[in-house]
Amino acid sequence: MGQNQVKVWRVADLHDAEMLKGDYVHHVYPWHAHAEMSLGLVIDGAVHLRTRSREGVAKSGSFVLINAEEPHQGVSASSRGWRCRTIHITPDIVDEVARDLGRPAAAGRPIFASPTFEDAELATDLLQLHYESESGLAPLRRQTKLLALIGKLLARHAHTSCDYSLKIREPSAVRRARIYLEENLTDKVTLDALASAAELTPFRLLRAFQRSVGMTPHAYQIQARIRSVRCLLAGNTALAEVAVAAGFADQAHLTRVFSSVMGATPGQYRAAFASGSARI
């Protein structure tokens, strides 16, 4: 492996799944979360991954899974860095398969073992699906492979703890704070203003927010800005204007932060939107 190399694309017939393959040598993922579920496979090297409750080293052949909205971070665990293939999918697909397998809606969204585990069959299935996302093969084949993969994940690795929902229950004050941050991307938000919106003192807000969300309000604000950028990249707005609209100082600031969190540049993501197919 030499310098970091990343390619990202989208596959419309897989519910607009986002595909990424990358060679990472000098990269540190800060604490962040995705709206999508992340399914990945380490091809070479190793990466040390942490979530709020678990950590582990994903090495060559390891399956990587990060639940939707689950804060996590990653750093190389090898002098060679790591090479990976990743799929970001909407959790709605998983919910649908879970219902079809008989999981009651009242049980809530399935939660999976995370961030990494060993399952050679699933790793092979994921790798084949990822390869075929670039090949232009029939959509029916890819869609069948994705649903079969999700079914195996549910059967083998779904979390069964009945009290998990208690751990992620969100206080109304934290919800108000999140909404305020999401609605004030370009403002210079102060802790006092945020605490006022949440109807808590600043110290109590910080403690409740980090306990519930898994990151500080500032880290969450950066995440909200990144999500705004991903939406704006689907259009034709110039990157400099996207940066300002999402609350970044300038395009260079946007590129630096976006690349750190997403592992690819805004330009690479824009190309994935513009392709309209499985290839850039």
Task: State mean pLDDT over 85-104.
Answer: 92
Q: Which has more confidence, 151 or 186?
A: 151
Task: State mean pLDDT over 119-139.
Answer: 89
The pLDDT of residue 25 is: 87
Same domain? 254 vs 228: yes
Task: State mean pLDDT over 206-216.
Answer: 90
214 backbone φψ class: left, alpha, beta (φ>0; ψ -120 to 50): left
Q: Single out the residue in 165, 190, 210 at which a domain terminates.
A: 165
Same domain? 14 vs 89: yes
Q: Single out the residue in 165, 186, 203 at which a domain terminates.
A: 165
| 88, pLDDT greater than 70 | yes
91, part of any domain? yes
Q: How many Cα atoms are found within 13 Å in the side-chain-facing hemisphere of 109?
A: 15
267, part of any domain? yes
The pLDDT of residue 234 is: 85
- Give the 3-state secondary structure of residue 11: strand
Same domain? 153 vs 174: no
280, part of any domain? no
CA atoms of 88 and 98, how far apart (whole Å) = 18
The pLDDT of residue 40 is: 96
Same domain? 14 vs 152: yes
> Using one digit for the tens of pLDDT, what is the confidence trace for 249-272?
899 999 999 998 888 899 888 887
197, part of any domain? yes
Same domain? 268 vs 221: yes
CA atoms of 57 and 116, how far apart (whole Å) = 7
CATH number for position 32: 2.60.120.280
Same domain? 17 vs 152: yes
Q: How many Cα atoms are found within 13 Å in the side-chain-facing hemisphere of 230?
A: 19
Same domain? 44 vs 58: yes
Same domain? 146 vs 214: no
Same domain? 192 vs 146: no
Q: Single out the residue in 149, 165, 181 at which a domain terminates.
A: 165
The pLDDT of residue 162 is: 40
64, part of any domain? yes
**Domain limits at 215?**
169-275
CATH number for position 271: 1.10.10.60
Q: Look over the chain and give the mean of its residue pLDDT values, rounded to a whole number.
A: 88
Same domain? 114 vs 204: no
Task: State mean pLDDT over 73-92.
Answer: 94
Could you tell me the pLDDT band of residue 278, with boundaries at 50, 70 and 90? Answer: very low
- Phi, psi torsion values for 159, nearest 5 degrees: -70, 135
The pLDDT of residue 186 is: 80
Number of domains present in the structure of the chain = 2
> Using one digit for the tens of pLDDT, what is the confidence trace for 145-185?
999 999 999 999 997 544 333 344 578 999 999 999 999 99
Same domain? 90 vs 153: yes
194, part of any domain? yes
CA atoms of 239 and 31, how far apart (whole Å) = 24
24, part of any domain? yes
> Using one digit for the tens of pLDDT, what is the confidence trace for 24-54?
988 899 999 999 999 999 999 999 999 998 9
Same domain? 47 vs 142: yes
Neighbour tally for 277: CB within 10 Å: 12
Could you tell me the pLDDT band of residue 280, with boundaries at 50, 70 and 90? Answer: very low
| 194, pLDDT greater than 60 | yes
Q: Which of the 8 DSSP states describes residue 106?
A: G
The pLDDT of residue 228 is: 94
